[in-house]
Amino acid sequence: MNIGDLLGSATGLRDAFEAYGIEWRQPELLWGVLAVPLILLAWGMTRLSRKRSADLFRTATHSPPRRPGRWRRGTASFLTLASLTGLAIAFARPVWTHPMPRDRATVMVILDVSEAMRATDVSPTRLQSARRIVQNAIDRAPERLQMGGVAYGPAAYVVANPTYDHGAVSAALQAVRSVTGAAPGDALAVALAAIPASDAGPGTRVPGAIILISTGDQTGGRPLGMAVAAIEEAGIPVHTVAVGPRGAATSATVGATPAPFKPDVLMQISRQTQGRAITNPTARDWDTLYEAIAEDVVVEPRPEEVGHLVGSAALATWTLGMVLLVTASRRLM
C-alpha cells in the first residue's frame, strides 16, 4: 500500500459517508483516519523483521511456545485501532441530515399588561393571577404544538415567536411589565400574523388557536371588531380568559383598586370566533382545548451533529480493548 492508496481510501471514506447524508464541519480532520493504516503498515513491517530474526536462530527441534491470551491481545489491538478511527471521525464533526416530522399547529398566548392589570381586586394582583394562568396554559400544552407569546398595552408586540421551546415562551411572558393603555385589537392582529401560513392555499393558516388573557378593556389601537372579523375569516378560534373580580366582589374587597373589567367583551370575541370563554381554567379545560387543534405535519430535513456520539462509542471501544489487554497480559503496559 502506497501513499496514493492511503489518500484515495480517506477520500473514499468521506464520499461514502456523504452518500448517506452525512457531511462534515471540519472535513480536513478526516485525514487522521490515515493513522490506522500507517500503524498497521508499521506493525506488519516490524512483525516481518522479527520473523526473519527468529528464523535465523531457530533450531530444528525447537519452536517457541504460544503465549496465553493471544486472542485477547489480538482483539484488544483491533478495538484500539477501531477506537482511533472513531475518534478521527468524531473530531471531523459529522453532521447527519435526516427527515424529521414536524407539526406546525400553533397556539399564540396573548397577555394583557395594561394599567388595569395592576388592580388588586384579584389576589395578589390581576397581573400576577394572569401570569399563573399563562404558566398553567403553557405547562399543559402538548410538545407537538408550537407556542408563541404576545403582550399588549398601548401597542402589541411579539415576545416569543412560535417555537417548540415552551419554556422560553413562558419565561418571555412572565417577564413583561404593565404599562398604561390597552390595544387588544392590535394584539389579536399581531397574534394572527404570527401563526404560519398553510400549504393548503393562499390566505390559509395552519391549525391553531389564540388564547387571550385579558380584562377586556380597550383604550386605543385598531377597532376590535375589525381584528375579530379577520380572525374569524382565517378560522382561528380565540379562547378568552377574563381576569378580574367576580360577582359582588367588584368594589367591596378591602383595598381593591377599581379598574375596568369587561368580561362580556371577551365572551363576544370567543363566541364570534368559535372559541371558548373560560372563567376559572383547569387542567381539563386546557387539555380539551388542545385536543381540538388539528395537526399539520410536514417532513423536513434536519441536520444534527453526531460527532459526540461517535466519540463516545470510540472511547467505550477503547476501554473494552484495555480491559481485554489487562486480562490477557495481567498488566496495562
The one-letter amino acid at 286: W
Q: Are the CB atoms for 121 and 249 separated by under 8 Å? A: yes
For residue 119, the number of C-alpha atoms closer than 13 Å in the C-beta half-sphere is 25
CA distance 122 to 128: 9
Average pLDDT, stretch 95-116? Answer: 90
- Check: CB of residue 307 under 8 Å from CB of residue 91: yes
Task: Mention the CATH class of domain 105-295.
Answer: alpha beta
Residue labelled with grid coordinates 477503547: 318
Q: Distance between CA 180 and CA 294 in Å, rounded?
A: 37
What are 135-162's pLDDT values in tens digits? 999 999 999 999 999 999 999 999 999 9
Instruction: Report residue 277: phi and psi, to 5°.
Output: -100, 110
Q: Rounded to an integer, what distance in angstroms lies between the CA atom of residue 140 and that of residue 137?
A: 6
Name 150's bridge partners. Answer: 110, 158
Residue type for position 65: P
DSSP string, 273-285: TT--EESS--HHH
DSSP 30: G
Q: Which helix (H) or strand (E) holds 235?
A: none
Lookup: cell for 32: 487522521
Higher-confidence position of 203 and 116: 116
pLDDT digit string, tens, across residues 9-19: 555 555 666 66
Which residues are registered as beta bridge partners of 107?
147, 209
pLDDT of residue 248: 41
Tell me, what amino acid is at 206? V
More confident residue, 153 or 85: 153
| 244-294 pLDDT tens trace | 987 544 443 434 557 899 999 999 999 999 999 998 999 999 999 999 999
- Least Cα distance to 147 among 95, 119, 111 occurs for 111
Please, which residues bridge with residue 156 across strands?
Answer: 152
Alpha helices in the chain (DSSP H): 3-19, 35-57, 70-91, 126-139, 166-174, 184-194, 224-234, 249-252, 263-272, 283-291, 307-329
Model confidence at 45: pLDDT above 90: no
**Is pTM beyond 0.85 here?**
no
Of the candidates 240, 150, 154, 233, the one whose C-alpha atom is nearest the C-alpha of residue 187 is 150
Identify the CA nearest to 279 among candidates 216, 208, 326.
216
User: What pLDDT does residue 295 have?
Assistant: 87
In the chain, where the domains are located: 3-59+66-98+302-329, 105-295
Rounded distance, CA 302 to CA 97, Å? 5
| Neighbouring-strand partners of residue 197 | 205
Report which of 322, 317, 304 is spatially closest to residue 88, judged by C-alpha positions.
Answer: 317
CA distance 22 to 24: 7
